[in-house]
Amino acid sequence: MLIEGFLIKLKHSFLVFRTDRYSGKGGIEVSDSGKIKVSPVKMFILLILLIAVQPILGGCLKDSSVQLHSGTSHDVPNEKESTETSSAERKIFPVNPEKGEFNRAAGWVTNDTILYITEAADGSRLFTHQLSTGADKLIFKSEFPVVKAEVNSLRKQILIHSARSTHEAEITIIDYDGKILADQRIDSYELSFEWNKEGDGEVLVTAFNEDWSYKTYLLKINEDSLSKLDLPQPFAVWKSSDEILFLNWDQDSPDLQAPLIEQNLSNQKQSELLSSVHHIDSSKKVIMAVSANQENTEFAVYRFMTKDLETISSLKVFQLTTYSGWLTPYYDIMDSQGSFIYFRPVTGGEADLYGEEFTLSRFSFKEGKEVDLVTGLANEPLSCSVQGELCLYGHQFEEVIDLREKKIHSLVKSQEQLKGEK
């Protein structure tokens, strides 16, 4: 979890290392080969950053990932999925600890079923878990620790990242019956993934070395192949089946925002779409770009656009500053609902000094309207079901927020519950 949280920090600030208002220095040099050169002073700052993310397990403020997904995106619900009545109180059954030590939940299979990872003496396991009944199904075993699992946007395939050693990872793609569709090994210290949301076929993979130099690959699942890509930045999101988007940070002249660039993977042609952005994400239907408000940088502007870059709507929100830029609180883009669920700070200022809690809100980018869902929460990772009534919550997705009932349920049985069952 520490490494995963650190990689989130990398995505949001490390490769965007700007002039630091505390130290008065910043900047990271990136060679043509993608090697990041860090001076001793800057390495000390990175070590401080690493220490700073340790409160992940304690529930402190963090930047958005990654999923590395920062926010996940969902497609239209499967008609075969179970529907839930709105009249009866919903029952949430926690994970059975007999399946192994709970590591983390890993996303939604249906509106009522999640994935979760356990650890045991003989390796890691991946289960599906039905929240309304407590029923579990084992779908994958690994003799190596499973670092992460991600469901694709069509919810038909699962990417599993296993650590064979400190510097070698294994990427396995399976379906929900556990059938292996692709399996690749890659030299890396940490990995970042981005599913192609147009279908089940491709994943962008960024492999970091221990010195945070990187290489980017395209994993083609149907061919079970891994090919190197020449990208100027390590983090990118898909715009279409053969186009990607990235923020083109200038390492020679660090700034708080960067141009949003589109690149065609077939002919490598690039074009600038927006001039000043500090966070981007995309779903199958929309592109989201976050910028500082030009009139008042105490606010951020979330812009939602079609894939043709036509603005659908925008949202102005208080924003919090970090030592190197701005914090983007955790969120989830809900394609099927035409909405955006996110943690909204109640005031602006410095993230380190922010003493308030966050309000979980839903913004309809189709209608341009916003409604508050739950108040008084911490800014922690979020992943919501397609219908948008339940959300996994927490640094290990160890809780479930029932947005209809305004309740938070633990996904893991407490020691008191276990004692009561004996």
In this predicted model, what pLDDT tens digit does every residue of 54-88 receive, in sequence order? 333 333 333 333 222 333 333 333 434 444 444 56
Tell me the average pLDDT across 179-204: 91
* Contact (CB, 8 A) for 345 and 326: no
Dmax (CA) of the chain: 64
Non-local (6+) Cβ contacts of 134 within 8 A are 93, 94, 96
What pLDDT, on a 0 to 100 scale, did the predictor assign at position 256? 86
Give me the half-sphere count of Cα atoms (radius 13 Å) on the Cβ side of residue 179. 7
Q: Of the candidates 198, 140, 128, 197, which has an alpha carbon nearest to the alpha carbon of residue 172? A: 140
Helices 2-12 and 40-52, packing angle to 10 deg: 120
- And the tokens for 183? 């399996």
The residue whose two tokens read 């220095």 is 25
* Residue ranges of domains in the chain, CATH in brackets: 2-81+90-421 (2.130.10.120)
Rounded Cα distance, 211 and 294, in Å = 36
The DSSP letter of residue 232 is: S
pLDDT in tens, 287-334: 999 999 988 989 999 999 999 999 999 999 999 998 888 999 999 999
pTM for this entry = 0.79
* Contact (CB, 8 A) for 411 and 400: yes
pLDDT band at residue 204 using 50, 70 and 90 as cut-offs? very high
Report percent pLDDT > 70 for the chain. 77
Measured CA to CA in angstroms, residue 275 lies from 13, 59, 314, 348 at distances of: 18, 34, 17, 24
Q: What is the DSSP string of 28-68?
A: -EE-TTSPEE--HHHHHHHHHHHHHTGGGGGT------BTT
Rounded Cα distance, 176 and 254, in Å = 44
What pLDDT, on a 0 to 100 scale, did the predictor assign at position 31? 40
Non-local (6+) Cβ contacts of 142 within 8 A are 123, 124, 125, 126, 160, 162, 172
Burial of 282 (0-12, 13-18, 19+ CB in 10 A): buried
Mean residue pLDDT across the chain: 80
What pLDDT, on a 0 to 100 scale, did the predictor assign at position 323? 83
Q: What are phi and psi of 51, to 5 degrees?
A: -65, -35
Rounded Cα distance, 126 and 160, in Å = 9
3-state secondary structure of 92: coil
